[in-house]
Every structure is written in C-alpha cells, then in structure tokens.
Amino acid sequence: MQQKSKPKLAVWKFASCDGCQLSLLDCEDELLAVTEEVEIAYFPEASRAVIKGPYDISLVEGSITTQHDAEKIHHVRHASRFLMTIGACATAGGIQALRNFKDVKQLVPMVYANPKYIETLNKSTPIADHVFVDFELRGCPINKAQLLEVISAYLHGRKPNTPRYSVCMECKRNGTPCLMVAHGTPCLGPVTQAGCGALCPLYERGCFGCYGPAETTNTRALSEQWKALGKTPQDLVRAFRTYNAYAEAFRKESDTHES
Amino acid sequence: MKANGATKTTQTKVIKVDMIARVEGEGALYVKIKNRTVTDVEFRIFEPPRLFEALLRGRAYSEAPDITARICGICPVAYQMSAVHAIENAFGITVDNTIRNLRRLLYCGEWIESHVLHIYMLHAPDFLGYADAIQLAHDYPDIVNRGLALKKAGNDIVRVLGGREIHPINVRVGGFYHLPTKQDFGALLDKLKWARDAAIETARWTGSLPFPDADYDYEFVALHHPDEYPMIEGRLLSSKGLNIAVSEYDNYFAEEHLARSNALYSFLKGRGAYFVGPMARYNLNFEQLTPLAKETALSSGIGTTCTNPFKSIIVRAVETVYACDHAIQIIENYNPPENSPDVIHTRSGTGYGCTEAPRGILYHRYRLDDAGSILDAKIVPPTSQNQKVIEDDLRRVVETNLDLPDEQITMQCEQVIRNYDPCISCATHFLHLHVDRM
C-alpha cells in the first residue's frame, strides 16, 4: 500500500519555561504513536534534525519579549498552515507579563549588573497580538491530554473538544465540595477556564487561575466574595496578576483594585 | 544542528552553532581559532530574560514556590523546594520528618523524570549517532520504550504527590496543601519496583556506550549530608576543601554579567570555575548512596568517583537507581501525619535555601518583611553555575581536535554541552555553535 506523506509538525519557542513543549515529550504512552501520524520536522528541544518548512502544524510556546522575537513570529506564521499557541505565555503573555504593569527599565537593573547588555521590550505580549492564531490552548502548563486532542482533531478535520466553561463545572463533575462555600477558601475557579480537571480543589487548595479567564466571567462578583472572606484589594491585585495577568478579564479586574 | 558559516581564510577559523539542539532552552556556541590556537569560546545564552527576581518583589511569600516553578518546566520541583526551604529558614520553621520525606519523594520523582529524559532522549543519541530518540526508536524500539516507561514512573510520583507533572500544585511553605493517604501510593509501589530494575538495566546499558578519554581536574560542588544522599538539605562541600553553610553562599560565590549572554556566570571567589550536578553529587556523596545504587555504579563502568563528563550519563542512571530505591523506601514507611501546621507565623528577615535540582545546586535567597512580603530575591540556577566549566571543556575539546573537519568539531562541541544537561530556560538570566578559524 502506498504511504501517504505525513503532516509536518514544528515546535517553536519564545520566552517561556519549556514546560508546555515538554508536555509533548511527557506523552510517554502516546509519543511514538504520535510520530506514526505526524512527522516531527522541527523540534530543537528533542532533535538536531531539521526538515524544511512549510509546516502543517506549528506549536508555539512562549511570549514575545524581544524585538528579534517580534520579527521571528512573522516568519513562523508564514511557514505554518495551522498555528496553535500552547500555554499561558503564548496565549496571555505569561508570568513575565507582570512587567507590563511596571517600568521595565527599573526592573532590569534589579537582576542584571549591566542593563545595557540586555535587549528586551517593555511588554511581554501573547502571540495573537502579533500574528493570526488558528487555535489557542490554555494553561500553565497545558494539559497534555488536551494537546493530543487538538492535534488529533486537526488530523481528522474536526473541531477540538476543549470547553471554555469554568473550573466550577469540573469540580461538580469530580464531586468536590465547593471550597469557598464549605471552607471559606478563596478560589478563582468561578472565573477560570476548565481544562486542568479542577486539580487544586482536589488537593484542598483554591484555584489560582493558571488556565486564564473562562469564556464568560463575572470577576467583579467574585472579588466581592473574596472581600467578604477577608481578602484585601492588594490580595485581589496579586490574585488576578499571576500567570495570565495580561489576559483582558484578569487585567481589567486587577486594575480596579489597584489604588 | 549543522555548523553554519564556517569560514576558512589562511589561518582563521570560526565554528558556530546558532541553536543547540536537545537542550532545554535556547543557546548558541561560538569558537574562534587563530594560528591553531583557540582564542575565543563563547557559550551564549540568548533565551530572552524574564526578570523573575524583579517580579518577585512585592509578592507574598506563599506565592514564591509557584512563581519560581515557572522558571523551569523541566525542574519545577527544584524551584519549589529551594523556595520553601529558604522561606522556612527566614521564618524559623522546621518541618517534621514525614513532610521532609514527602519532599524527598517528590524530588525522587523529578530526578527520575528529568534524568531519564536526558539519558534516553537528549544524550544517548549522541553516543549512538542518531539525531534524536525517535530515530533511535526505529532501530532500538525496546530501549526507547524502556526509557519512556521509566520516565513515566518518575512523572507518576510527581503527579500523585504534586497533582501534575509540570508545575505541580501541592507544595506550600510548611508542607503540602493535601497530604496523601497510604492508598494514594498503592499503584505506585509496583511501578517503582519495575522502574528500579529498569534503572539498573539503564545504568548497565549506559556503561556499554563508547566514551572518549576525558578526565579533568574539576572543582566539584554539591550539598553533603551525613545521613542521606543530598537533595533538600546539607552543607555545601567542594572536592577542593570548601565546606560552608548554605547561608554563607554569597560570601564564597559570585556572579558576573557578560555582554554575550543573558545568563549570569557564577564563580567561586578567588578560585574560578566549578562543577555542579550529578557528577559533583556522586563524587562528594558516594557513601550516602543505597547499597543497590553503589553496586550498580561499580558494575556499570565507573569507580567511586567519576571525572569524565561524558560518563555523566552513567552517573545519571545511577542516581535514577538511587531515586527509585529511595522512593520505594519512603512509600513503604509512609504513615500520614495527623495534620500539618496550617498557620505560618511570618517575621522579617533573610532566608537561604539550597537544594539539589537534577542539574545541580539551586540557590534561593529571600528578604521578607514582617507580613511575609518579598522585599528582594536572588536565584542562582545550576546551569549558570556550570557555564564557565562548559566553556573550559569546549576549549579543551576544540584544542585536541583542531584537525577534524568543522562538522565533526561541531558535533563534539554539542556533545560537550549536552554532557551538562544544560537547562537554558533556568539560566536566563543561557546557546548557537560558531567556530572561527583564523
């Protein structure tokens, strides 16, 4: 039987911790099966072999924080049919977007003795601020089952099943009693997108929003509830400003509590 | 990656690699050779700076373990462990033995996952002449499948205890959000017993790989603890006589910032380059290994010390045996404590933490106010500590192989770098290969 040529997959990295691309290598049971279906054409973290583009699927990790990267992402887009961003850095700017609320010129000398050697932009921005993105996969880090779901959906030409409702739905499904109601534990679950399996509440911890804002959120009502539990405006600013600080819903809510 | 731009004039030669493959993060290498002398070796880290130490200012102490975990997706547990120990040091908190053992268990999971990833997927292809583990799998499917299953066993520990493999969610200052039950570990134990055997096979297999002669006089630095192989606690020892408390780190070690790299270069004051990681731990702590790990090491081609950086692959496998063995001990002896203390009493002060990340010592220092807000933070990852030693090794390998074609020198240089399993995401505040012959 004649073998059809496999779709080519590329993995690109911008400012990030490498965790989301590692998710692909963490698919220990599925990795070799994935390589039966797609050809890993560019993945420097895993291989020194490079197959030239264009690529059918590009996974993009990381945020844009340098002029060099702001230019490179256009080349990546140009070389990619289906461009999918993976993780909070690529979809919302990541933890490094905390700089967006400050003056980066004051931050650099806190870390580097010779700030003049450092080239960096004022803001850390998501990929979609720079180029058209075909699909955004959320999470800090992404859920590897969702990654496999999106790749296989692409291969079969169907829509991926990655719900945009809140973590609360997953808690209900897990049968986890509401931490806020039952224990008075502050939780970002009501405004945070599902996908992690409502992990933190399973471990007796309030959600800290690492999957970013859900599709529809009422952050204001949640903030009132946090205040009723004794949290201060400063606590709220910090809570909304973590791994998805620059995502619109979280950014706007944090701004309202900043004095 | 291919060497690019190798330019030959009569006597000058440049070798460069713009992006080094099979390392975590982005780095490059530049080597300049003039009149058959290596004049410049630069191992350059161009991973963009993310400014973690600055972003930590004003954050609550309780956020530090999760925020610093985001420095590295490969070794988040290391960041969480150094952070909690530094903060507990500042607050004067001592955790009980059960929490301490659970922390060591979590670390065992990360060592297994990270070491096995490096052994099978990043390092072994160099010795066997493959571009990656996927190509290796075409010819040796059983070997690669063993590696993947072993890696998974490590990840399983992190997932059960930490909630998920990457950026686990269960670690907090003072202990864990949720203490596991004995039943939670039920399925793990059998997997780990299989993993321990697979790790022994891995060590024997790595011992059979072809190694170049390369024994150098390094200064190894690692934690040392009289009663256990070092992970979360101990004094800082070196193979050349250093013996200090973690809180004295800043008196003996310093960092410099060079134009070529977004990583800071660490050095021992008045002494220079030093070597951290599995080989350093092994050389300073052989006696603390379990009998099974010792026996595996000695039957896999290394002595009680190892100074050939290429053989670090064997040492990683020995540490994997240790981590499986130790994890089994911890689980077998585990009894959940009644309750870990929920209330943390904050106080102003400075806290120091140093733990053994898979790649070597990871130092954290925090200055905190009364309420536990972070005033300033200092983080020194293992890769920036190894950066000088890596450049020294590169210089030696180029000098001994001057007559080889560029493509082969490039390959050897890359392998030298991969000996250290550098994690460039961590070190940025860290690589392209470029050899310049003049």
Q: Say whether residue B149 is in contact with chain A using an 8 A CB cutoff.
A: yes
> Residue B18: what pLDDT?
74
> Residue B25: what pLDDT?
65
The dihedral over CA atoms of A102, A105, A106, A112, expressed in degrees to the nearest 10, equals: 130
* B419 and B393 Cβ atoms separated by less than 8 Å: yes
How are strands ordered across the β-sheet holding B37-45?
B12-17, B433-437, B27-34, B37-45
Q: Say whether residue B110 is in contact with chain A using an 8 A CB cutoff.
A: no
**Can you tell me the mean pLDDT for B114-140?**
92
For B22, the closest of A16, A47, A140 (CB atoms) is: A47
* B343 and B63 Cβ atoms separated by less than 8 Å: no
Shortest CA distance from A40: residue in chain B:
B134
Does the structure show a pLDDT above 70 at B433? Answer: no
**Can you tell me the mean pLDDT for B311-326?**
98
Q: Please give the model's pTM, rounded to 2 decimal places.
A: 0.94
CB < 8 Å from B in window 121-150 of A: 124, 140-141
pLDDT band at B431 (very low <50, low <70, confident <90, very high): very low
Q: Convert chain A into a string of H (helix), E (strand) and C (coil).
A: CCCCCCCEEEEEECECCCHHHHHHHCCCCCHHHHHHHCEEEECCCCECCCCCCCEEEEEEECEECCHHHHHHHHHHHHCEEEEEEECHHHHHCCHHHHHHHCCHHHHHHHHCCCHHHCCCCCCCECHHHCCCCCEEECCCCCCHHHHHHHHHHHHHCCCCCCCCCEHHHHHHHHCCCCHHHHHCCCCCHHHEECCCCCHHHHCCCCCCCCCCECCCCCHHHHHHHHHHCCCCHHHHHHHHCCCCCCCHHHHHHHHHCCC
Q: Say whether residue B67 is in contact with chain A using an 8 A CB cutoff.
A: yes
> Residue B438: what pLDDT?
57
Does the structure show a pLDDT above 60 at B187? Answer: yes
> Residue B191: what pLDDT?
97
Residues on chain B touching A108 (C-beta within 8 angstroms): 49, 51, 54
- Write down the mean pLDDT value for chain B: 90
> Residue B1: what pLDDT?
41
Shortest CA distance from A102: residue in chain B:
B55
Q: Say whether residue A45 is in contact with chain B using an 8 A CB cutoff.
A: yes
The terminus-to-terminus CA distance of chain A in angstroms comes to: 69
Shortest CA distance from A110: residue in chain B:
B54
Give the integer Cα–Cα distance in Å for A2 and A15.
41
For B55, the closest of A95, A112, A208 (CB atoms) is: A95
Q: Say whether residue B378 is in contact with chain A using an 8 A CB cutoff.
A: no
CA distance B62 to chain A (A): 11
Phi, psi of A80 (to 5 degrees): -120, 135
Contact B50 A20 (CB under 8 A): no
Phi, psi of B60 (to 5 degrees): -75, 150
Contact B132 A47 (CB under 8 A): yes
**A9, A47, A179, best to mutate vs chain B, most B CBs in 10 Å:** A47
Q: Which of A34-43, B195-204, B413-422 has the highest mean pLDDT?
A: B195-204
> Residue B339: what pLDDT?
64
Query: For the segment B339-361, what is each residue's pLDDT rounded down to a tens digit?
Result: 666 789 999 999 999 999 999 99
Cα A14 to Cα A253, B49, B172, B243, B264: the distances in Å are 27, 11, 29, 40, 20
Helix axes B278-285, B312-332, angle to 10 degrees: 70
Does the structure show a pLDDT above 80 at B427? Answer: no
> Residue B430: what pLDDT?
35
Q: Say whether residue B145 is in contact with chain A using an 8 A CB cutoff.
A: yes
CA distance B148 to chain A (A): 5
> Residue B282: what pLDDT?
98
Contact A45 B23 (CB under 8 A): yes
**B24, B29, B55, best to mutate vs chain A, most A CBs in 10 Å:** B55
Does the structure show a pLDDT above 50 at B400? Answer: yes
For A107, the closest of B54, B164, B256 (CB atoms) is: B54
Which range, of A8-17, A207-216, B5-14, B15-24, averages the lowest pLDDT?
A: B5-14
Please name which of B182, B237, B183, B181 lies closest in space to residue B361, comparing C-alpha atoms: B237
Phi, psi of B224 (to 5 degrees): -140, 135
For A111, the closest of B26, B51, B133 (CB atoms) is: B51
Q: Is B269 left (phi over 0), alpha (psi -120 to 50) or beta?
A: beta
Strand partners, B238: B221
Q: Mean pLDDT by 10-residue block, N- to C-terminus, for chain A (259 residues)? A: 79 94 92 92 88 96 96 97 98 97 91 84 97 98 97 95 97 97 97 98 97 97 98 97 98 94
For B54, the closest of A13, A25, A111 (CB atoms) is: A111
Shortest CA distance from A62: residue in chain B:
B48
CA distance A207 to chain B (A): 10
Contact A107 B121 (CB under 8 A): no
Which range, of A209-218, B209-218, B394-403, averages the lowest pLDDT?
A: B394-403
Shortest CA distance from A142: residue in chain B:
B166
Contact A65 B256 (CB under 8 A): no
Give the integer Cα–Cα distance in Å for B311 and B126.
12
Does the structure show a pLDDT above 80 at B111? Answer: yes
Cα B294 to Cα A58, A88, B150, B303, B427: the distances in Å are 45, 43, 20, 9, 31
Give the integer Cα–Cα distance in Å for B238 and B170.
33
pLDDT band at B35 (very low <50, low <70, confident <90, very high): confident
pLDDT band at B219 (very low <50, low <70, confident <90, very high): very high
ipTM attached to this prediction: 0.96
**Can you tell me the mean pLDDT for B146-158?**
97
Q: Which of B5-14, B173-182, B251-260 has the highest mean pLDDT?
A: B173-182
Phi, psi of A64 (to 5 degrees): -95, 120
Residues on chain B touching A45 (C-beta within 8 angstroms): 21-24
> Residue B41: what pLDDT?
83
> Residue B372: what pLDDT?
97
Q: Say whether residue A99 is in contact with chain B using an 8 A CB cutoff.
A: yes
Give the integer Cα–Cα distance in Å for A220 and A216.
12
Phi, psi of B295 (to 5 degrees): -60, -40
Query: For the segment B47-69, what is each residue's pLDDT rounded down to a tens digit?
Result: 788 999 999 999 999 999 999 99
A vs B, Cβ pairs < 8 A, gives 189
Structure token digits, residue B36: 């058959």
For B60, the closest of A26, A199, A238 (CB atoms) is: A238
Structure token digits, residue B330: 């911890």
Instruction: Please name the residue that has the structure tokens 């994935």.
Output: A34
Contact A17 B60 (CB under 8 A): no
For B73, the closest of A66, A117, A141 (CB atoms) is: A141
Q: Beta strands of B240-316 (E only): which ranges?
A: 243-244, 253-256, 265-268
Does the structure show a pLDDT above 70 at B8? Answer: no
Structure token digits, residue B151: 């890696």
Burial string for A127-144 (b: 16+ CB within 10 Å, else e) reads beebbebebbbbbbbbbb
Provide the 3-class DSSP secondary structure of residue B365: strand
* A20 and A70 Cβ atoms separated by less than 8 Å: no
Residue percentage of chain B with pLDDT more than 90: 69
Contact B259 A199 (CB under 8 A): no
Shortest CA distance from B148: residue in chain A:
A28
Q: Say whether residue A65 is in contact with chain B using an 8 A CB cutoff.
A: yes
> Residue A3: what pLDDT?
58
Shortest CA distance from B167: residue in chain A:
A141
Query: For the segment A132-184, what is each residue's pLDDT rounded down to a tens digit?
Result: 999 999 999 999 999 999 999 999 999 999 999 999 999 999 999 999 999 99
> Residue A206: what pLDDT?
98
Q: Is the peptide bond before A54 cis (omega within 30 degrees of 0)?
A: yes
> Residue B341: what pLDDT?
63
Q: Say whether residue A47 is in contact with chain B using an 8 A CB cutoff.
A: yes
**Can you tell me the mean pLDDT for B81-85?**
98
Please name which of B420, B61, B66, B21 lies closest in space to residue A50, comparing C-alpha atoms: B21
CB < 8 Å from A in window 401-420 of B: 414
Residues on chain B touching A199 (C-beta within 8 angstroms): 163-164, 169
Q: Say whether residue B50 is in contact with chain A using an 8 A CB cutoff.
A: yes
Burial string for B351-363 (b: 16+ CB within 10 Å, else e) reads bbbbbbbbbbbbb
